[in-house]
A and B are shown apart, each in its own frame.
Chain A
Amino acid sequence: MKKLVMRWEVLLLALLVIELIVFGMINPRFLRTSSLLYGTSDFVQVGIVAVPLTLVIIAGGIDVSFASTVGLCAITFGIANFFGLPLAASLAVGFGTGALAGVLNATIIRLTRLQPLVVTLGSLYLFSGAATVLSGVVGANGYEGIGGFPTAFTNLGYAQVLGVPMPLFVFLCFSAVLLVLLHMTRFGRLVFQVGQNEEAARHSGMPVARIQMWTYVLTGLAAALAGLLLSAYFGSARVDLGGATLLPAITAAVLGGASIYGGKGSVLGTIIATFVIGYLQQGLQMSGVPSQISSALSGALLVIVVAFRHGLALLSAFVPARSSQTN
């Protein structure tokens, strides 16, 4: 029982509930089902990239390039659509770009053995640059969007599945798949093992390179998914669609319990953390707090929560030593 209560996910869930109650007291409209449900459309894209990013972090890597990949995939989709490809083919182009971006990251990391942060930093610029240049191809120069999507596609952004808005539904399905993949399959165990001790994994004959490659490809695909959802939601594909997801997504993964040193983390934690961060922003906005302040508060939240967790770890490191002395 104690073990269950002290689980990080449970603490996060409690944090989420407290947050909802506090904002509900400030502004009762916040707790309406419709605003809780439809509010998610503004932040689920953060969760969609944060969940596979959790896998990357668990496997001992980090990816910051997804923020540009979101825009790049949206742009390639928009271009394919612009040149008259059928919707299914255009979507395939978008997802293909995302997967390729992941393959490129993983390959360069593998080839150079450099830290993933450095490599994905380079591709962060490369992808956003490529997206900007590509959007110029169809005449939408600079940060103007590519529009003119078929209505079947734009309707997707506002569709409902089982009473749940489409973006939220996609997020929940996608993260459920990754939850199963990480916590219940052989692949998931390998991801943890690679992150815990890469050398040990390699020496025991595990396909380290392939596992890491898959985590980056999944992140690329997720970025494509987020980019396409956002394009459907806004009705246009823009280069900077994903720019605002960079910090919240890493925050969500870390807040969700992923250790930046690898080997630790959970998909469920990241999912809950996404809602904590998302509803924090929304609740603050509905309580009349300017959006700039809410960004400060979510930064503060990350620092406080992580410092709290490390403080706890420091404490628990001290306590057994003392109790063993008294015994």
Chain B
Amino acid sequence: MLNWIARDRVATLLLVTIAVLLAVGVAAPGFLAPSTASMIWSNGLVLMLIALGVFPVILTRNIDVSGGSVLGLSAITLGLSLNAGIAMPIAIAMTLGAGLAAGAVNGVLVAVLGVPSIVATLGTLGLFRGVMLIATGGEWIEELPETLKALGAKSLSGLSVMGICTGLVIIAVWAFLRSRRGRWVMVVGDNRAAARHLGLPVKRIEFLAFVWGGGMAALAGITFASQIGFVPNQAGTGIELRAIAALVLGGISLLGGVGSVAGVVIGVIFFTSIDTALVFLKIPAYWNDLIGGAMLLTVLLIDGRLRIALEARDRAARYHRGDAQAPQSQKLEDAA
């Protein structure tokens, strides 16, 4: 049991999420309904997209904390161009372009100039937010066209267009990471020197990871604007930290090379369902941070201790095996 919990983070988190949801369902009747599931999904869309964007960056052992500002920047690109009467497909293309360009700036700083990623993206976090505010003159963008809001509105199946898009992105990332080139991303994060010696284009992979992060943040910006219907100045502030927290919860290591798409999805859903559950339990919203933070720290503490205990046991088993002779080793391996 101990083994299983420590080794399969995703399954454990899934069980914990289900347990929490069931407990809330008992406390607040009416919570366990398909409509809640669709609500959690749509509430978590923006966070999910940002998390999916940061995911490959973290896999390469970098970090991107500029996601919130890229979200804001691309949301106002969309808003300003739509309100200027540009057709929807072109406006969306421009938005994605803005996000990709912002990601490319991060990528150049980190992969080409060699600036530590946390410093570079911390700088661009301020920079992009400022560019966004300069473009809007500090005003909110309101009166977005109905065609945009339709993208965020739920259809009969309880899924919005953006919700379906996000689902497709999840499948795409999953498929990509299983492909040959997808493994490269993991390799770069796991052992950069080894990846170089294998002849992988390490810098290009890092650069592309940041560009992907920018593109996903742009998609998150489109989702944000379509769900809310206007773009406030502080759109996306702080979401980058929430996304990183969700990723960590989902078992993605900030040391690179470790993590799965399932972990991303379940981490985000866990975070979102806590927020949604608090609403159902009629707990005032100002408890959110306290409960979220305490949950995150508790999971980290338990997980960290389990990992350490497991490593110690593995090591002990190895030493033990060294003493004993070959016939016994099979049994001990099973025990470990």
Contacts and interface: CB of A to CB of B under 8 A. Distances in A.
B97 to A, nearest CB: 20
Contact of A254 (B119, B131, B233, B254): B119
B105 to A, nearest CB: 9
Contacts of B287: 129, 132-133
Contact of B134 (A127, A292, A298, A307): A292
A51 B133 CA distance: 30
Given A130-B290, A296-B134, A302-B122, A119 B300 contact: yes
Interface residues of B, number: 47
B286 A126 contact: no
B184 to A, nearest CB: 23
The majority secondary structure among interface residues of chain A is helix
B93 interface: no
Contacts of B120: 303, 306-307
B248 interface: yes
Nearest to B233: A292
Interface in A82-133: 108, 111-115, 117-119, 121-130, 132-133
A129 B289 contact: yes
A112 B300 contact: yes
Interface in B145-203: none
Contact of B304 (A111, A132, A306): A111
Nearest to A311: B113
B108 to A, nearest CB: 9
Nearest to A301: B123
A136 to B, nearest CB: 7
B293 A251 contact: no
A186 to B, nearest CB: 29
Contacts of A261: 116
Interface in B232-250: 233, 241, 244-245, 248
B130 A297 contact: yes
Contacts of A123: 293, 297
Most chain A CB within a 10 A radius of its CB, from B114, B120, B130, B241: B130
Given A295-B129, A296-B126, A260 B288 contact: no
Contacts of A259: 116
Nearest to B126: A299
Contacts of A62: 118
A29 interface: no
Contacts of A295: 126, 129-130, 133
A303 B300 contact: no
22 contacts: A111-B301, A112-B303, A112-B305, A117-B118, A118-B248, A119-B297, A121-B244, A124-B241, A125-B245, A129-B292, A130-B290, A133-B290, A136-B284, A290-B138, A292-B138, A296-B130, A296-B134, A298-B126, A302-B119, A303-B115, A307-B113, A311-B113
Interface of A: 62, 64, 108, 111-115, 117-119, 121-130, 132-133, 136, 141-142, 247, 250-251, 254, 259-261, 290, 292-300, 302-303, 306-307, 310-311, 313-314
Given A142-B286, A292-B134, A306-B115, 19 more contacts: A108-B297, A108-B300, A108-B301, A112-B301, A113-B304, A114-B300, A115-B254, A117-B63, A121-B248, A125-B290, A125-B296, A126-B294, A129-B294, A247-B125, A299-B122, A299-B129, A300-B126, A302-B119, A303-B124
